[in-house]
Structure 1
C-alpha cells in the first residue's frame, strides 16, 4: 500500500511540466556555471575587443570578416551594464542557449510535438555537447540558432492565430538574424520554400490581411538591418551596400577554402559528439517513411505472387478489389489560375493535416537541405554544426514511443559525458570542436606580464593579448608585429619580450627564455592513422603555435 502511494506521488511530482522545468534548470547550470573556466578563444577575444572599443571609443564599422554588427552592439551593451570581463562577454550567448530550450514548449502547445517528443527534444538541446559548448562561446552562431527558433515559433503561431503581432515577431527574428551573421539567408530560404509548399497544397491558409502583415514584417526586418549595418547612422553608406560586401567576401572564402574540409566534415563531428541524436534521426526518418510497412507490403506481395491460387481452388470465389484512385490535386481540379486566386485571397478549403507528421516532414526537409548547404560551403568550421543539429534533433524525436524515449534518455548519458569533457575540462583538449583555442598555458604568460612594467610583443601572433590587456593595462605592451633588432630590445628596457618560435632570438643577454603554447587545434594529419583509437581515448598530438617568452633576470643574478 505504501509503495503504491509513493509511486502515485512520484508520478504526480514528475509531471510533464515538472520534468520540463528540471531540464530547463539543467540547461541553465550547463550554460552559466564556470563561464570563465577557459580563456577566450581566438575569435572570442577579437569579438570582445571590438565590443570594448565600441563601448569606450564609439568605434565600429561592419566588416564581413567578423560577421554582423549585432554581436558587437549587444556585447558592448552588457559590458556597459555589468562590466567588461570574460563572464559578461559570454553571458548573452549563454542566455540565448537557454532560451533555445524554452522555445520548444510553445511548439508543443500548438500540437506539433507531443509530451514525449517535447521532453526529449528539450533534453537533447540541453545536454548536446555542441549546443552547450557554443552557448558558452562569444560567437554569432548561437544567435542564429535562437533567431531561427523564434522565426519558427512566430510562423507557427501566425498561421494558427492569424494575428499581425506574430508577423512582426517573425520580421524581427529575420532582421536580428540577418544582422548577426551572413548564413541567416540559408534559413530564410529553407523556411520560405517549405512555406510555399504548405500554402500551395492548402495545408495552411493565408489570412485575408496577409499582404499587410507581410509588408509590416518586411519593414521591421529591413529597419533592424539598416539600423545595425549603418552603425545607427554613423555609416549610412553601408545601409544598402553591406550585403554586396558580404557576398563578395564569403564567395572568396568559399573559393579559397581557408579552413577547408571534405563534404562529410560535419558527419564526422556528429559521430564524435552527437551520435545518439544522429542514430535516432536516422530511425526517425525510417519511421516517417514507414520502412517496416514497406517491407511488410513487399513481402506480402511476393508471397501473394508465389502462392497465386489456380482456378478451382477458390480463386473464382474471391472478390476482386478495384485499385485505389487518388483524387486529383486541388490545383488540377480548379485550374492553375483559380487555385492561385483562392490562395492569394485566403479562401477555399484547407486540407486536413496531421501536425506532428507534417512537422516531422518539415524537420527532415530542413535537416537535409542544411546538411547539403554546409557540405557544399568551402569554409568548414565546427560551430556551423549548430544549424544542422537543430533540425536533426526534431527529426530524432519523431514518433517518440516510450521505448524510444527510454533509449534517448539512456543515450543522453553519452551526451552529458561528452559535454562535461569538452566544456568543463580546465585544460587544453585535443578535440575537433576546438579550433584555434587559446591555450591555458597563457595564464603563466599573463602572470609574467602582470609582474612587468614594460613588455615587447615582437610577433604578429599576439591575440588574445589586446583583450586581456586593455584600458590602463594596455600601456605596458608595445606591439612590433615582428622580431626587432636586439638593440631595440635593450634600449627599450623591456622586462618581458614575446616572440614566435620560428622568428625569435637564440638568446637575449640578461633574459631567461621559456616556450609556451599560444593556441592549438585538432590536427587530422597527426591522428589520421589512429582515428579509432582516438575516438575512444581522445588523446594524441595537436597543431599549435608556440611563443617564446624572454623574462629579464632580476638584478644581481645570472640569466
Structure 2
C-alpha cells in the first residue's frame, strides 16, 4: 500500500499544472504533426520525429480531449507516474524497504518528473524498457513464463517510442557479460572457470528449451506490436481486408522502417561532435537533477558487491546498465539535451534504493549499539539525500522550469511566460475576420501563404518559415487562427492584422504599421532569440 501511495503522489506531482509551461520547440513540432496526421487520417514513419507511439496514442487523445499542452503531455505523465509500480516485480530480489526506496526514487527524481511533464519519448522508452527488464526478472524468480509475455509487450512498446530502444538489449547483454566474468573470476577458488562456464551454459540452455513455446509466443506478440504501430496507415487497415496487400505492408513496416532509420540515424554525421563535451554536459545534468540517485547508487553497488558474501545480480545489473548509459549516450547523441539523463537514472535507482537501505540499516544498528557518531553520520546522509531530492525537484520543476539557469532544460525551450499573450491571440482569432496573425520578416516569411496557411511539406515536415516560428504554429493551429506572412511593411497596412509577430531585429523597419499596437517581447529560446508580439490595443 505504501508503494501505491508513493505512485499516486508521484502522479499528482506530474499532473498538477501539466499544461502551464509553454511548449518546447520539439513538443510543438511533433504535436503539430500529430494534428496533421489526425486531420488527413494517414501516417507513415518519419525517423526525425522518432517512433509511432506518440502519433498514434496522442492522436486518439487529441480526438478525445482536444489538443492542448495538457493533453499532449498527459500520456507521458501517466506512464512516468505509474513507473514506480514496476518496483513490485523485483520484490523477490529486494527487501521491502528497498522496494519502497526504489518506488520513491522513481516517483520523485527531479529529472524524471520534469521529462514526465514533457511530450517526448525518453520517459516512455525508459519506463517500458525498465518494465520489460523487471518482467524478465520476475519470470526467472517465479519460473512462470507468462511474465515473458509482459516483457515482450513492454519492450515492443519501447521499440515504438524511439530508435535508441535498440541500445537497450546491447546494454543488457553487456551487463550479463560482466556478471559472467565475475562468476568466472570467483570460480578460480571453487573448482575452475571451465566447469562454472559449462554449468551456467547448461542451465541457460535448459531454461530456454523449457520455455521455448513461451519465448516464441512472446516474440510473435512483440512483432505484432511493432508491425501494428509502424505499418503505414490507412494501408495497414486496407491490407487487413485485402490480404494480398499484406506482404507489402509488412515489408514497409519492418525492412522499410529499418532502411529509413539507417538512412537518418545510422549516418555518422548525426553524431559528429566532441565526446568529452557531451559527457561533461550529461554529468552536469545528472549532478543537478540526480545527485541523490548517483551517490547512493555507488554506495549500494559497493556495499552489496564487497560487503555481502553473495552479491545480488540485480544490483550489479542496475549499476552497470546506468554506467553504460552514462558513458555511451554521449557517443550516440546528436545534440546536448537533459532528457538523455533519463536513460542513466532509471536503472541506477535499483542500486540507489539498496544504498539508501544500507545507510538506514547502519543508522538503526548504530542506535541500538549506542554508537551516536555513526548514527549521526548516517542520519545526516539520509536527511541530505531527502533535502537534495526535494530542493532540486522544486528548483527544476517549479522555480526554473523554463529558464537558462536550469541545466536540465534544453535550449529550444521558450523562456518566460508566453501564455498570457497566446491566450489573448486565441480570443482575437475567435472574434476577428480576415488574417488574425501576420508574421513579418525574412525568417518567418512563407511564399504564397494564404489565410488558410501554407501547405505542409510531407518530406521536410514543415514549410519555409514554419520551423523558425515554432512553437507558435502548434498554438495557432489549435486556435484556428488565419495566418499570413510578409517581408513588405505595406502588406501589413493592407491586411490590417490584429496581431503582428516578428523578430526584434526586424522591428526597425516597422514604423507607422505598428501604431496602436501593444508591444510584448518573449524569448523564443532560453536566450538570444527575442520574438516581438504586436497586439492591437
> What TM-score do the two structures reach when normalised by structure 1?
0.73
Counterpart-to-counterpart distance in 1, 2:165 and 2:524: 30
Contact 1:40 1:86 in 2 (8 A): yes
Contact 1:427 1:440 in 2 (8 A): no
1:250 aligned to which of 258, 261, 265: 265
How many angstroms does 1:374 deviate by?
0.8
Change (3 A) 1:184 1:428: closer
Higher helix share: 2
Contact 2:489 2:513 in 1 (8 A): no
Contact 2:296 2:353 in 1 (8 A): yes
How many angstroms does 1:517 deviate by?
2.1
Aligned residue in 2 for 1:119:
100
Between stretches 63-72 and 183-192, larger displacement belongs to 183-192
How many angstroms does 1:161 deviate by?
3.5
Change (3 A) 1:274 1:234: same
| Alignment of structure 1 residues 438-457 onto 2, 5 Å | 438-449=414-425, 450-451=427-428, 453=432, 454-457=436-439
Aligned residue in 1 for 2:227:
226
Partner SS for 1:498: strand
Aligned residue in 2 for 1:328:
none
1:361 aligns with 2:313: no
How many angstroms does 1:75 deviate by?
0.8
Aligned residue in 1 for 2:111:
130
Contact 1:93 1:136 in 2 (8 A): yes
Aligned residue in 2 for 1:395:
351
Change (3 A) 1:382 1:275: same
2:56 aligned to which of 68, 73, 88: 73
| Alignment of structure 1 residues 335-346 onto 2, 5 Å | none
Counterpart-to-counterpart distance in 2, 1:462 and 1:474: 16
Counterpart-to-counterpart distance in 1, 2:198 and 2:320: 17
Counterpart-to-counterpart distance in 2, 1:79 and 1:277: 35
Contact 1:178 1:185 in 2 (8 A): yes
Partner SS for 1:84: coil
Contact 1:230 1:238 in 2 (8 A): yes
| Alignment of structure 1 residues 405-484 onto 2, 5 Å | 407-408=381-382, 410-425=384-399, 428-429=402-403, 430-435=405-410, 436-449=412-425, 450-451=427-428, 453=432, 454-458=436-440, 459=444, 460=465, 461-470=468-477, 473-478=479-484, 480=485, 484=487
- Please provide the CA RMSD for this pair: 2.9
Aligned residue in 2 for 1:89:
72
1:175 aligns with 2:156: yes
Aligned residue in 1 for 2:295:
279
Unaligned runs of 5+ in 1: 1-16, 294-352, 522-542, 554-559
Contact 1:276 1:408 in 2 (8 A): no
Aligned residue in 1 for 2:169:
188
Q: How big is each residue's C-alpha offset from its partner over 1:141-188, in whole Å with a ceiling of 9 and x where there is no partner?
A: 111111112211221122233444322222222221111101111112
Partner SS for 2:172: helix
Counterpart-to-counterpart distance in 2, 1:96 and 1:549: 36
Counterpart-to-counterpart distance in 1, 2:389 and 2:117: 16
Partner SS for 1:502: helix
1:151 aligns with 2:132: yes
How many angstroms does 1:191 deviate by?
2.2
| Alignment of structure 1 residues 265-304 onto 2, 5 Å | 265-290=281-306
Counterpart-to-counterpart distance in 1, 2:233 and 2:139: 30
Change (3 A) 1:28 1:393: same
Q: Would you say how many aligned residue pairs link Structure 1 and Structure 2?
A: 448
> What TM-score do the two structures reach when normalised by structure 2?
0.76
Change (3 A) 1:164 1:427: closer
1:382 aligns with 2:338: yes
Aligned residue in 2 for 1:494:
497
Unaligned runs of 5+ in 2: 181-196, 237-248, 364-377, 445-464
Aligned residue in 2 for 1:22:
5
How many angstroms does 1:447 deviate by?
4.4
How many angstroms does 1:513 deviate by?
6.6
How many angstroms does 1:66 deviate by?
0.8
Counterpart-to-counterpart distance in 1, 2:198 and 2:262: 31
Change (3 A) 1:509 1:258: farther
Contact 2:110 2:389 in 1 (8 A): yes
How many angstroms does 1:195 deviate by?
5.1
Change (3 A) 1:48 1:167: same
Counterpart-to-counterpart distance in 2, 1:186 and 1:99: 23
Change (3 A) 1:261 1:444: farther
Counterpart-to-counterpart distance in 2, 1:387 and 1:200: 34
Partner SS for 1:387: helix
